[in-house]
Amino acid sequence: EAGVVQSPRYKIIEKKQPVAFWCNPISGHNTLYWYLQNLGQGPELLIRYENEEAVDDSQLPKDRFSAERLKGVDSTLKIQPAELGDSAVYLCASSLAPVYEQYFGPGTRLTVT
């Protein structure tokens, strides 16, 4: 069984540029999460989807961040424009349902210069 797939694995951009991350969850997993992991910190939830509905986006900085999960499968997280402080690892995770354990992808390491 394939795990959670994320791309790209690494991204370097200049500040004020847009960037997008893609996530393909484990087949059949209805719940999808995006986390932000700063260096030396644990992951922090940005947004949670139940199928195609964003049910918890309270931690998503909506002025520059956006996310979508069309058709309730793949998801895209976008930052526009990126700031220096956005440099971090962006993790995607999925689970069968909110109460079940979460499976994480390898993450996308973003560097904003």
91 is a site residue for another protein (CB under 8 A): yes
107 contacts another protein (rule: CB under 8 A): yes
Rg (CA), the chain: 13
User: Contact at 8 Å (CB) between 96 and 30?
Assistant: yes
**Token pair for 58:** 């309270």
3-state secondary structure of 40: coil
Do 18 and 79 form a contact (C-beta atoms < 8 A)?
Answer: yes
* 50 touching another protein, by CB under 8 A: yes
Q: Does 29 bind another protein (CB under 8 A)?
A: no
99 interacts with another protein by CB under 8 A: yes
The answer to whether 72 contacts another protein (rule: CB under 8 A) is no
Q: Which residues bind another protein (CB under 8 A)?
A: 3-4, 6, 31, 33, 40-45, 48, 50, 55-56, 91, 93, 98-99, 101-107
